[in-house]
């Protein structure tokens, strides 16, 4: 309830700051095209960082089922959008998750939801990868978890080195995925074969 009361005041404060930013950039926040921009940007930023208000472990626990299945479960090509904490510019791409159950499975839609929770925070791709892996490992206690993320970073494409076709890949894994053979099977199943 306290959080609900804070949201409107946070939005109003963000709007005020964005109005000031527009002025500092040399714009007129009172011109027609910019009149509602501070409000729109404030709402967008609150949505893009809404992961701070969500519990990813609770999401997984909300759909945990006992199941005697001990083969790989994979959800691949999970689209995500996040904000780079260094420049507050977007990075986006696909996450691929695999785990080997150890008595419990989770609803398949819960894995993309966990990705969204962590992606909707100010991030770096490396931490995002590890947070998703650690959350699944801690909550489901599977025999192993692997997360691979491929992303394009607007902070590299729009500014700085300006390399538009660069793709960053990160991975993290636990347990059974420490074995090269198991990792290779996962990579083949998500469509990434070694050449």
**Enzyme catalytic residues:** 84-87, 125, 153, 155
DSSP-assigned beta bridge partners for residue 100: 144
C-alpha pair distances (Å), 125 with each of 34, 102, 193? 32, 28, 22
Q: Do residues 124 and 85 make contact, with C-beta atoms less than 8 angstroms apart?
A: yes
The string of DSSP letters for 92-107 reads EEEEEEEEE-SSEEE-
CA distance 94 to 96: 7
Angle ∠(127,129,131) on CA atoms, nearest 5? 65
For 75, the token pair is 């959800």
């Amino acid at each position: 309830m306290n959080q609900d009361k804070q949201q409107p005041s946070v939005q109003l404060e963000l709007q005020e700051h964005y109005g000031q930013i527009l002025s500092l950039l040399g714009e007129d926040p009172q011109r027609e095209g910019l009149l509602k921009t501070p409000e729109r940007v404030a709402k967008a930023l609150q949505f893009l960082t809404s992961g701070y208000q969500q519990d990813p472990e609770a999401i997984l626990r909300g759909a945990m089922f006992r199941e005697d299945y001990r083969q790989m479960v994979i959800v691949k090509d999970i689209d995500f959008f996040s904000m780079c904490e260094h420049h507050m510019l977007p990075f986006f791409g696909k996450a691929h998750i695999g785990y080997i159950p150890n008595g419990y499975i989770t609803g398949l839609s819960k894995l993309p939801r966990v990705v969204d929770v962590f992606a909707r925070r100010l991030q770096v791709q490396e931490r995002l990868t590890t947070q998703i892996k650690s959350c699944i490992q801690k909550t489901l206690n599977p025999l192993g978890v692997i997360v691979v993320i491929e992303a394009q970073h607007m902070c590299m494409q729009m500014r700085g080195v300006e390399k538009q076709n660069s793709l960053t890949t990160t991975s993290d894994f636990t347990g059974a995925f420490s074995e090269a053979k198991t990792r290779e099977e996962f990579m083949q199943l998500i469509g990434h074969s070694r050449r």
